[in-house]
Structure 1
Amino acid sequence: MTAIISAAELSDALAGPRPPVLLDIRWQLAGPNLRPEYEAGHVPGAVYVDLDRELAGPAGSGGRHPLPDVEEFGAVMRRAGVTSGRPVVVYDGGLGWAAARAWWLLRWTGHEDVRVLDGGLAAWTAAGGELSTDEPVPAEGDFRPKPGAVGLLTADEAAELAGEGVLLDARAGERYRGDVEPIDRVGGHIPGAVSAPTTENVGPDGRFLPAPELRARFAALGAADARPVGVYCGSGVSGAQQVLALEIAGIPAALYAGSWSEWSSDPARPVATGPKP
């Protein structure tokens, strides 16, 4: 099973005998939630999930988007109709960051059949998909999260991986270099980390590059041999999209969910600046 699904494949799946649970994860950084956009039109049958409130815990020393309480996350997913034996498709309205966060959380907590709509809502409408303003009330799901199914890094493990494996920084290059830092305490990167902006994982239409192109991209960054691979970003959201891109490329990777917002909050942790690891 691939980690992404095209708009045409989703349309077929929704018309089939075992339609997936649909989750709308539209989100914007440092702004109000996008429920009004969901209410104005969404893929028929989709349930809105608020990333800031339901896919993250309260901001603090663990970062701006620390992992949610596992039991609370499970309750949110069950209310959305998520069931262990039924496929799930998640989508957002952008580059796949928010959808990938939901994908990663479900995979990390043990759901085995989760995919991201490639290209998001724009791909759905471009393919002729209809939108609905009806808000479904799904039957309660039975999903019970069991964390640990995919890799998760602590700050210390991320630092170790930067020296012994490949740690990819998914933020924009100017934040990696420390030229600017609009959000967190200080600019720069984890010493040893390699700059790998998520914008380079997708084409102009917002769809992921083909798997061979992604493999070549990550090979050029050093993630092509048997060394372990990890990813971080600003707060564990765009980094999930990088983990998804690596999955498409056939490269397993762990996520440092606390990411730069956690790392940089501790003045005792080292910070590197400039274009080199």
Structure 2
Amino acid sequence: MTHLVSVSDLSELLAAGVPVRLLDVRWRLDRPEGRPDYLEGHLPGAVYVDLDRELSAHGRPEEGRHPVPPIEALERAARRWGLRDGDVVVAYDDVKSIAAARAWWLLGRAGVDVRVLDGGLRAWVAAGHPLESGDVAVPKGDAHLTDTTAGVIDIDEAAAFPEAGVLLDVRAPERYRGDVEPLDPIAGHIPGAVNLPTLVHVAPDGTLRDPDELRAAFAEVGITADTPVAAYCGSGITAAHTALALEEAGIAARVFPGSWSEWSNTRGRPVARGILPAGDVASG
């Protein structure tokens, strides 16, 4: 089963009158507020989703920068977006589906039939399809979401994970090595984690690479269909994108939502630096 929908398939669904709820998840690290871009132009009928406020919770620093929101809060947000039980949901963004994958990961775990628009808004525009401007008001939905811990590991499980499987650090190599850390208090990586940046899985046109290419990339770091694998990033956003790539490759994926932001804010956690998984370890 694919977790993606192509621009052509989405266009056909909409032209056939199939009810599809479109979620515009415009967000990126250097410009987290995506609403202005959404108001300028979005897929017709799409509702704006605020990643920082609706797809994340906020608490103590040791919980990370983007903790998973309580299921009650996510359900309230889903109803604001107009989601009803049984809806087909398509999430998209304008930066390589990184933010859209967060919506896919959260909603899919909660029982929603959700897909990511492959290539996002840019692919939609490149195919010659129209955008509309302004806000979209929709009737309140009645979706019931399911609370689950499936596919999630906590900080202690992340620490032990390299002993039984592959823990993927999907950040940029310079952050993994500990050369720089622009957002969190300590630079480096979780001891034993292997670096495979999530953007490796994105083709030049912004779509996800095909399953064979994805499997080849994962195999280079020792991951096959039977390998226990979990991903983390800076704060749990791009790790969801790697989870999407893993699922498309036919590999079961788990995510450490607190990621490096939780690890680096938790006293006593060891920190590895350098190009090797074990690295030069220091106390956190």
Q: TM-score range by the shorter chain?
A: over 0.9
Q: Which residue of 2 aligns with 1:41?
A: 41
Q: Structure 2 CA distance, aligned partners of 1:156 and 1:46?
A: 39
The alignment yields a C-alpha RMSD, in angstroms, of 1.3
Deviations 1:190-231 (A, max 9, x none): 111110101101011111111100011111111105231100
- Structure 1 residue 68 corresponds to structure 2 residue 56: no
Q: Which residue of 2 aligns with 1:124?
A: 124
Q: TM-score scaled to structure 2, two decimals?
A: 0.94
Q: Structure 1 CA distance, aligned partners of 2:85 and 2:256?
A: 25
Equivalent runs, 1:55-134 vs 2, <5 Å: 55-59=55-59, 60-111=61-112, 113-134=113-134
Q: Structure 2 CA distance, aligned partners of 1:160 and 1:252?
A: 18
- Structure 1 residue 6 corresponds to structure 2 residue 9: no
- Structure 1 residue 202 corresponds to structure 2 residue 202: yes
Quickly say closer, same or farther: Cα 1:225–1:42, change in 2 above 3 A: closer
Q: TM-score scaled to structure 1, two decimals?
A: 0.96
Q: Structure 2 CA distance, aligned partners of 1:190 and 1:134?
A: 43
Quickly say closer, same or farther: Cα 1:149–1:129, change in 2 above 3 A: farther
Deviations 1:40-99 (A, max 9, x none): 110000000110111101153210011112211101101111122111000001021100
Q: Give the conservation status (yes or no) of the 8 Å contact 1:243–1:253.
A: yes
Q: What amino acid maps onto 1:10 in structure 2?
A: L
- Count of aligned pairs: 276
Q: Structure 2 CA distance, aligned partners of 1:213 and 1:30?
A: 29
Equivalent position SS for 2:272: coil
Q: Give the conservation status (yes or no) of the 8 Å contact 1:110–1:149.
A: no
Equivalent runs, 1:118-267 vs 2, <5 Å: 118-148=118-148, 150-267=150-267
Q: Structure 2 CA distance, aligned partners of 1:149 and 1:216?
A: 29
Q: Give the conservation status (yes or no) of the 8 Å contact 2:225–2:250.
A: no
Q: Give the conservation status (yes or no) of the 8 Å contact 1:44–1:131.
A: yes
Q: Structure 2 CA distance, aligned partners of 1:226 and 1:211?
A: 16
Q: Give the conservation status (yes or no) of the 8 Å contact 2:225–2:252.
A: no
Shift of 1:13: 1.2
Q: Which residue of 1 aligns with 2:282?
A: none
| Alignment gaps of 5+ in structure 2 | 278-284
Q: Structure 1 CA distance, aligned partners of 2:32 and 2:136?
A: 22
Q: Structure 1 CA distance, aligned partners of 2:32 and 2:239?
A: 21
Q: Give the conservation status (yes or no) of the 8 Å contact 1:45–1:135.
A: no
Quickly say closer, same or farther: Cα 1:105–1:225, change in 2 above 3 A: closer
Quote the sequence identity (%): 52
| Alignment gaps of 5+ in structure 1 | none
